[in-house]
Amino acid sequence: MTPNEFIRCHEQEWGQLEALVAARFKYRTDNLKKDGSLSPEQAMDPAAFPSLYRRVCLHLALARERHYPPALIDRLDRLALSGHQVFYGTRSLLRIGQFIVHDFPALIREHGRLFWFSSALLYLPGLIMGLLVYFRPEMVYSLLDYFSVLHLEEMYRTGGAIEIETGSGRVADENFKMFGYYIKNNISIGFQCFASGILFGLGTLFFLIFNGLVFGAVSAHLIHQGSTENFFQFVIAHGAFELTAIVLCGMAGLLLGRALLSPGRKRRKEALIDAARPAVQIVYGATAMLLIAAFIEAFWSSGAYLPVTGKFIVGGLLWALVAAYFFFMGARRES
């Protein structure tokens, strides 16, 4: 069979497949307009796709085997590739409901030990630094410079920027500005905490420990200054989501780091690729939690919708909610 006969025999099928691929990717091909013999319905019948695609694969193999002109092989190669992409490329569906109700908490429990390890990396340095600063207040300057400390004191002192009082609290616009700020800042930190885990876990280690140290130092310093109540009623509610989410991002980063450090029976590269799948799922969940945290921090934490006791109760309930979510959600389907 000469190349021209080959083209004549099969050109119509190729045109059909091109049209179907174009319909899937929503771009127009010249063939669709040029080829008058092809009715649009005929071209768009998706049920014909699999058999057409397999035919084109066959034609490509034949064309190669018979050493047809390079241009023809090239055309078929191109067509087979786009057919392959349509046929095997799955549209990734984010099953959000399923993820929230079951997959996410189940995933965290599955890697429970890593979660506690990550928590320890955040809270233990925080605790130690807190104790140090509490008993030797000048230690706070080993971590924060003079102006940051001054700024903190100013923010949380009675009548300061975070003063929680009806009427003189932050106005709605400013709340929104802070919402944007928390989103940009906190989620970026979360992402970096995850990504730097690929440096054998060292980057994640740094982010967790450093954030723990700062948090411990700030808390202890403010307790020492006598702003305990102001500070804790501000942080308790969103802390439930924010601190947990940072721990989760750390956990995702540690998954990558662990895959490199102890790949088990796999090659390091494969271990890393396998670890990335659960890790990115954890990052999705953590991102959602950081969004919630940013919302609470901007619109609730600084408001005076409840008396101080009320805010502590709500904060406590949120902590309980987060804990209950990770301990109990999605447990049923695991057995």
Binding interface with other proteins (CB under 8 A): 2-6, 25, 53-54, 57-58, 60-61, 67-72, 74-75, 77-78, 80-81, 84-85, 88-92, 94, 172-174, 176-181, 183-184, 187-188, 191-192, 194-196, 198-199, 203, 256, 269, 272-273, 276-277, 279-281, 283-284
CB of 38 or CB of 291, closer to other proteins: 291
CB of 5 or CB of 138, closer to other proteins: 5
Q: What CA–CA distance (Å, rounded) separates 32 from 38?
A: 8
* DSSP-derived secondary structure letter, 184: I
Q: How far is the CB of 222 from other proteins (least distance, A)?
A: 26
Give the closest residue to 10 by CA, choosing from 65, 67, 70, 75.
75
Q: How far is the CB of 313 from other proteins (least distance, A)?
A: 29
Question: What does R_g of the chain's alpha carbons equal in angstroms?
Answer: 29
CB of 123 or CB of 284, closer to other proteins: 284
Terminal CA-CA length for the chain: 62
C-alpha dihedral over 245, 248, 249, 251, to 10 degrees? 160
Q: How far is the CB of 307 from other proteins (least distance, A)?
A: 27
Q: How far is CA 97 from CA 91, 92, 100, 184, 211, in A?
A: 17, 15, 5, 25, 32
CB of 88 or CB of 146, closer to other proteins: 88
Q: How far is the CB of 312 from other proteins (least distance, A)?
A: 28
Q: How far is the CB of 153 from other proteins (least distance, A)?
A: 24
Cβ atoms of 46 and 82 within 8 Å: the answer is no
Give the closest residue to 203 by CA, choosing from 211, 46, 79.
211
Q: How far is the CB of 232 from other proteins (least distance, A)?
A: 26
* DSSP-derived secondary structure letter, 266: S
Q: How far is the CB of 283 from other proteins (least distance, A)?
A: 7
Q: What CA–CA distance (Å, rounded) separates 211 from 124?
A: 11
CB of 4 or CB of 142, closer to other proteins: 4
Cβ atoms of 75 and 29 within 8 Å: the answer is no
CB of 90 or CB of 309, closer to other proteins: 90
Residue 302 has which token pair? 């600084």
Q: How far is the CB of 302 from other proteins (least distance, A)?
A: 14
Residue 17 has which token pair? 């497949």
CB of 31 or CB of 148, closer to other proteins: 31
Q: How far is the CB of 60 from other proteins (least distance, A)?
A: 5
Cβ atoms of 311 and 233 within 8 Å: the answer is yes
CB of 3 or CB of 263, closer to other proteins: 3
Output the CA torsion sign for 11, 16, 17, 22: positive
CB of 143 or CB of 297, closer to other proteins: 297
Residue 90 has which token pair? 């799955």
Report, in this order, helix, strand and coil percent for the chain, each rounded to 5: 80, 0, 20
Give the closest residue to 284 by CA, choosing from 147, 53, 95.
95
